[in-house]
Amino acid sequence: MMLHSFVDSIRGWLPEEPKMPKSKLKRYHVPLAVLVALTTIFSLLSPSVFFPNQTAALVAPPLVVSSAPNSYFVELGGVVDESEGFILVLSDGRIISPNNLALKYTLTERSGSECNVQLAVECEDFSNEISVDGSIVNGNLVIDSAQSLLLISPDVAKSQNILLTETNDWELDGTVQSTVSKPSTAIDPYTVTAIMVSSSATRTEKGLPLSLSVGYEPNTGLLVYSGMSLSDVLLEKLGIDLIIGSLNLVSYSENLNLEIASFSLPRFFNLRFILLVGLVSSLVVVPIVAVYVVRKRRKRRQAGAQNILELNDNTRQNCEVGD
């Protein structure tokens, strides 16, 4: 009989969590968190989140200079660190590695197809300039019967393969990209719209390795970018066989009307905006996770209670069989 009484006493018993009165701290914990979150959101939702303080102005784009109506001026160059210095192979056999370099040229149109080109290269250990007469044939600059890389026909975009330059026994072919690109300038984060032409695995007329990646202004065909190495008939007249290094746009004449663009992140992508997005996301994600955890615990308790009921029934049945 005592066994029957013990079984009856545990029949239907379910473990329950004790319902203790909530303290004032726990009672106001959730409203306080919501209040703090809302206060933070309103503090972040100010015009400065999406439009930062204008005192931090953008760096000025490449310099625009004035020139004669029939003249075009372009300056390329840049400053690099010691590990990425320029390399100049000079005609006298010397090789120099300056950390800064400026290549400036002015093309002046004359009557008919005649023109004049002034070219100057300046760096730490070398400086030279020339003024040479030439002609523009089918949109290409020709100096002493050799095409120059400083100016090519803007119509190259219609062809995938072109002849960049040639001499008596040497030719340099190039491949034109099908789309207009935006190579970098010497001033971050600005870029310039250009037609890109490349020529790889080639050698100069003197046998020097040459990997070409140059960009031209789409309307005039003037050189506005050189990304790898450069060899040209005009450079040879300066006493330079090869320049290795990126030559980016520094300045240009106003009559070129180059398309300069800034590729910096939009203004609303700043730290405060990211914090705002993270906070708002947490207000959505945290409740969902909390509900999921509560439901999972509730199902676990229900499963435990069901197991206890089944255990009680089995125990009772075993006791009745034993009696």
Is the pLDDT confidence value at 63 over 80?
yes
For the segment 179-184, the average pLDDT, to the nearest whole number, is 91
pLDDT in tens, 111-142: 889 999 999 999 988 999 999 999 999 999 99
pLDDT at 181: 93
Classified as helix, coil or strand, 196 is strand
Q: Which of 160-164, 189-193, 279-283 has the lowest mean pLDDT?
A: 279-283
In the DSSP assignment, the letter for residue 251 is E
pTM: 0.66
C-alpha distances in Å from residue 202, one per residue of 52, 83, 172, 196, 305: 49, 25, 8, 17, 81
For the segment 42-48, the average pLDDT, to the nearest whole number, is 52
b/e per residue 219-249 (b: at least 16 CB within 10 A): ebbbbbbbbbbbbbbbbbbbebbbbbbbbbb
pLDDT at 26: 46
Confidence band for 282, pLDDT divided at 50, 70 and 90: low
Is the pLDDT confidence value at 51 over 50?
no
Taking the C-alpha atoms of residue 256 and residue 266, their distance in angstroms, rounded to an integer, is 28
The residue that leads in pLDDT, 207 or 30, is 207
Q: Measuring CA to CA, which residue among 128, 132, 127 is closest to residue 107? A: 132
Q: Do residues 240 and 103 lie in contact, with contact meaning Cβ atoms separated by under 8 Å?
A: no
Q: Measuring CA to CA, which residue among 103, 61, 98 is closest to residue 224? A: 103
pLDDT at 264: 58
